[in-house]
Amino acid sequence: MSKLIDTEKAILMESIRDIHDFPKPGIVFKDITTLLNNPKAFRILMNHLTNRYLNYDLDFIAGIDARGFIFGAALADRLGIGFVPVRKKGKLPYTTVAEKYTLEYGFDEVEVHIDAFGKNGLCPTGERSKVLLVDDLIATGGTAKAAANLIEKVGARCVECCFIMELMFLGGREGFESEVYSVLEI
């Protein structure tokens, strides 16, 4: 399994900009736009993810709205498999299945098309489709857990959840049914 060396981790960390007090005072927002426009850092990241998941025999990658779309779609292309967007409620045009999750003050929902991973979540061989869930950051884990549950709800199997960054002090990885992998731990 592919591992980043310290110099590669340093390049990735240096390519992510901190924005203090965004979106509200006391929060340090991790801005990945500076990683995306750094071709060396983006190539290191995508090469690492490609090498890691090359032998997982995946059928799909699901990316969480919206930054998970970027990394997930690029990785799906490199692996030659399908990409499925996990969208916020009301953004998909066909029949959907939704999963609610708790926010600090209320609830939100994510959804996918009912046939996003094949009819009843089955690939053409009749087996459950194997799905990798991708997003840029895991903090408390609410959105990602809902997305992983949604993959299972439509009949596919979430084999792993992959995040570019994990804010370890928030404990977001606790409670996942599938494996969790983070490229960078903060």
Count Cα neighbours of 45 within 13 Å in the Cβ-side half-sphere. Answer: 30
Closest CA to 152 of 110, 108, 120, 107: 120
Chain-centre distance for alpha carbon 2: 18
Q: Indicate which residues carry an active-site annotation.
A: 67, 104
Q: For 125, phi and psi rounded to 5 degrees?
A: -80, -5
Instruction: Give the type of residue at 86.
Output: V
